[in-house]
Chains A and B, each alone.
Chain A
Amino acid sequence: MSNQYSLSPAQIERLKSGARREKLHRMISYFSPLLLLLLWEISSQSGLIDRRFFPPPSSIAGTAWQMTASLEIFDHIWATVQRVAIGYVLGAAPGILLGLILGLSTPIRRVLGPIFAALYPVPKIAILPLILLIFGVGDASKYVIIAIGVFFLMFYNTLGGVMQIPQIYLDVARNAGASRYQTFRHIALPSALPNIFTGLKLAAGSSYIIIAAAEFLGARSGVGFMIWASWQTFAVSRMFVGIVVISAMGYFTILLLEALERKFVPWAKH
């Protein structure tokens, strides 16, 4: 840089205000779902929609407050969170690993690929009774059913990511003398990372779908159980609290994953 030009304070300010605007937009995107709640409140209060089935959010909030004050809600949240977290990790780790391995090795992909392809279309909920039979009605069956659902999403997203690695990156590694493991660790894994994060987000969403269904059927705790029990007693407000809570859990999980993505995939656009 031979030019002796320096930016004026006004120019610097313009640069910084762009960055601040970006930050503001990110904040707004966190809160946009609140708009939907407002619309609901108005519709319910004005009788536009049936209060028995759709009580206004303010009355649901009252119920939520009681459940919070009695700490009851936290037991359910904790039961669900730990089931999802354990099942998620149990499914994601082998899913990512096998996705990387099958993506890099054509022979292994030819042998094992069709097996996974045949198993993937089985609806996870359809095998829940079988899982309950094998693993019992305790938490183990919940871990397993979530792990199965998460596994396939992670496996296919990782595999897709590895298959898309530009040949040139593999050539670079080979020319630099990379071993098979080094190619795996330093090329395949980082190349597939954006797809892995896509998979992690999809898997988080489907984990909550699966846990809700699993807790309907065979559980004595958890947010899914709470929703099912409320249906049986026609406690519609409680049911909505459950729906909101489990949605919020999914939402915050995705936010967490997006934060991790920004940290671990800084080269990709978000």
Chain B
Amino acid sequence: MTVQPEQISRDGSVPVSAPAIEVTNLVKAFYDTSGDRITLAAADVNFTVRRGEFVCIVGPSGCGKTTVLRIVAGLEQATDGQVKIGSAASPAMVFQEASVLPWLTVAQNVAFPLKLKGVPANEQRARVSELLALTGLTDFADARPHQLSGGMKQRVSVARALVDNRDILLMDEPFGALDEQTRLVLQQELLRIWERTGKTVIFITHSVDEALTLADRVLVMSPRPGTIVADLAVPFERPRDVVELRRDKRFWDLTYEVWRLLAVSPEH
């Protein structure tokens, strides 16, 4: 089974209501030849994401949430099940660790997908400076990655994922390695960018706080083998203020609810 982005969209016959991402009965297992053992990473994962929706997936470490995202991105093959992408372009990805290419400057990193596609240099420049402005990196255009803080590097990753304007953005714990304060700042900026660009987003995190701050819906995964155990709507109005949100009683009620789900998830 493979992800086939063109399947339903290139011919223009997609109903407007068609989901942006539809994952059905997804199974991922690994076979370890040396120990002759099979490890089940994700078992029967089902979910859909509507166009323009911001969905967070939370789950304990090792529950297979990153694996699911990588399958949706087309970076890994599923063992069984289906992933349907309702978009002409394959999803863009923002990775967990520092994925900024060290031999390129900030501007060159952001331009990377455009360069691969052979976009003319002047168009590249215009688009890149637009994204540098959007992500607050204009002053760092010519900096090298090793001169940047962790937060700045993740801004570069976000800018690079947005630069070729794909509809779907997959984010794999992009702020996981950052300190709490930087994280809040970047969450606020991500919300601002998302509101402006209207992307469909799947955002993986193990932080319940982060999920509730960002998402329209939170999917809760069980420990390995991961499966979706709850699908919670997050009712906060937009635009959101990541700090003010914490004064809302519903924020804490939801936090409690998600934690309860994570805590009672059956161990396999």
Contact = CB atoms under 8 A, between A and B. Distances in A.
B113 A177 contact: yes
Interface of B is mostly: loop
B116 A176 contact: yes
Nearest to B92: A175
Nearest to A178: B116
Nearest to A185: B116
A168 B157 CA distance: 12
Interface string B4-47: 00000000000000000000000000000000000000000000
B102 A177 contact: no
A22 to B, nearest CB: 17
A172 B95 contact: yes
Contacts of A178: 116
Contact of B103 (A172, A182, A193): A193
A171 B102 contact: no
A168 B74 CA distance: 14
Contacts, number: 50
B73 interface: yes
A169 interface: yes
A261 to B, nearest CB: 13
B125 interface: no
A190 interface: yes
Q: DSSP class of A's interface residues: helix, strand, loop or mixed?
A: helix
B116 A177 contact: yes
Interface string A155-177: 00000000000001101111111
B90 interface: yes
B144 A172 contact: no
Nearest to B112: A176
A40 B183 CA distance: 62
Nearest to B170: A175
Contact of B95 (A168, A179, A191, A266): A168
Interface range for B: 20 to 34
B117 interface: yes
Nearest to A194: B103
B44 to A, nearest CB: 26
Interface string A179-201: 10010001100110100000000
B101 A171 contact: no
Given A177-B116, A267-B145, A168 B97 contact: yes
Interface residues of A, number: 20
Interface string B61-81: 000000000000111000000
Contact of A267 (B97, B102, B164): B102
B76 to A, nearest CB: 10
Interface in B74-119: 74-75, 90, 92-93, 95, 97-99, 101-104, 112-113, 115-117
Of A174, A177, A187, chain B has the most CB atoms within 10 Å of the CB of A177
B131 to A, nearest CB: 14
Contacts of B98: 168
Contacts of A174: 74-75
A176 B109 CA distance: 11
B95 A171 contact: yes
Interface in A118-170: 168-169
A267 B103 contact: yes
A175 B93 contact: yes
Interface string B211-247: 0000000000000000000000000000000000000
Interface in B109-138: 112-113, 115-117
A174 to B, nearest CB: 6
Nearest to B139: A1
Contact of A175 (B73, B117, B144): B73
A177 B103 CA distance: 19
A168 B116 CA distance: 17
A176 B113 contact: yes
Contacts of A190: 101, 103-104
Interface of B: 73-75, 90, 92-93, 95, 97-99, 101-104, 112-113, 115-117, 144-146, 160, 164
11 contacts: A168-B95, A168-B99, A171-B75, A171-B95, A171-B99, A172-B112, A176-B160, A190-B104, A266-B144, A267-B102, A267-B144
The 9 closest A-B pairs by CB, nearest first: A176-B113, A190-B103, A175-B93, A267-B102, A168-B99, A267-B103, A172-B99, A178-B116, A176-B116
Given A168-B98, A186-B115, 8 more contacts: A169-B101, A171-B93, A171-B95, A175-B90, A175-B92, A186-B112, A186-B116, A267-B103
Interface of A: 168-169, 171-179, 182, 186-187, 190-191, 193, 265-267
